[in-house]
Amino acid sequence: MLTGYDHLLFLFGVLFFLTTIRDVAKFVSVFTLGHCITLVFATFYKITWNYYLVDAIIALSVIYKAFDNNGGFEKHLGMKSPNLLIMVFSFGLLRGFGLSTRLQQLPLGDDKTGMLFRILSFNVGVEVGQIIALAIMVLALSGWRKRESFKRFSYASNKALLYAGVFLLAMQMHGYWHDSHPDDFRFPAQEHNHAHEDMEIESEKANSGRDNLE
């Protein structure tokens, strides 16, 4: 969880303007419910997708929340922000699917009971990591809100969050392109073999030259 920076950035955006423990608990609960549902069911029934594309959509969620925090819907689109509770739940479902695609790369066994236990154990570990990260973020934000700098830099902070989301999106799309078009990033197999053959010939010539000198 602590290496899931896209997940943490989205949660940071959600928590940014939440000032009460009740609101924090409400939004975190629906997000947690969402990713628990898809993590358990998608993994158990082996439903998967390209994880680069899943992570790219998660990066879009970071961009969305930063845009929303800076009033982008009202300022640029002339509309009210979408219902935040529904959006947080939806992105929670997506995040769980992203975790599931990663988890399915690990050997989970064929025994249904054992597999379910491993999935639930992994989910508990994710929740523990999330609680630790959330506690740190809530404490940091609550302390920052008491300072004058919060009002002065809140817009810039969410702008930086948006740019971070754009960067993550570009990374994931690059990874997807690399994964789906591998020959664009390395020698095709035939050229690779020719390269090795050329190196072997050069090595034999060099060894022959040394033998003649001796």
Q: Give me the DSSP letters along the chain.
A: -TT-HHHHHHHHHHHTT--SHHHHHHHHHHHHHHHHHHHHHHHHTT----HHHHHHHHHHHHHHHHHHHTTHHHHHS-SPPPPHHHHHHHHHHHHHHHHHHHHTTS---S-HHHHHHHHHHHHHHHHHHHHHHHHHHHHHHHHHHTSHHHHHHHHHHHHHHHHHHHHHHHHHHHHHHHHH-GGGTS--HHHHHHHHHHHHHHHHHHHHHHHHH-
Q: Give me the pLDDT at residue 185, please.
A: 56
42 in Cβ contact with 96 (< 8 Å): yes
Question: CA 106 to CA 121: how far, in whole Å?
Answer: 14
What CA–CA distance (Å, rounded) separates 36 from 46? 15
Structural tokens at position 82? 């979408």
For residues 65 and 52, what is the distance between their CA atoms, to the nearest angstrom? 20
Looking at the structure, tell me whether residues 121 and 191 fall in a common domain. no
Give percent of the chain with pLDDT exceeding 70.
Answer: 83
165 shares its domain with 210: no
| Owner of token pair 């409400």 | 26
Q: Quick one: 91 and 133 in the same domain?
A: yes
* Residue 46: burial class (beta carbons within 10 Å; 0-12, 13-18, 19+): exposed
> Number of structural domains, the chain?
2
pLDDT higher than 60, residue 213: no
Both 136 and 204 in one domain: the answer is no
Q: Are residues 107 and 52 in the same domain?
A: yes
Domain check: are 190 and 85 in the same one?
no
CA distance 214 to 210: 6
Q: Residue 214 above 90 pLDDT?
A: no
Is residue 159's pLDDT more than 90?
Answer: yes
Shared-domain flag, residues 208 and 110:
no
Residue 206 in tokens = 């060099």
Say if residue 49 is in the same domain as residue 144: yes
| 141 in the same domain as 53 | yes
Claim to verify: residue 104 and residue 145 sit in the same structural domain: yes
Q: What is the pLDDT of residue 86?
A: 95
Q: Are 12 and 84 within one domain?
A: yes
Q: Which residues constitute the domain of residue 142?
A: 5-180
Query: What gap in Å lies between CA 98 and CA 92, rounded to an integer?
Result: 10
- Residue 173 sits in the same domain as residue 194: no
Q: How far apart are the first and last CA of the chain?
A: 62
Condensed to tens digits (0 to 9), the pLDDT of residues 100-155 reads 888 888 888 778 888 888 888 888 888 888 888 899 999 999 999 989 999 899 99
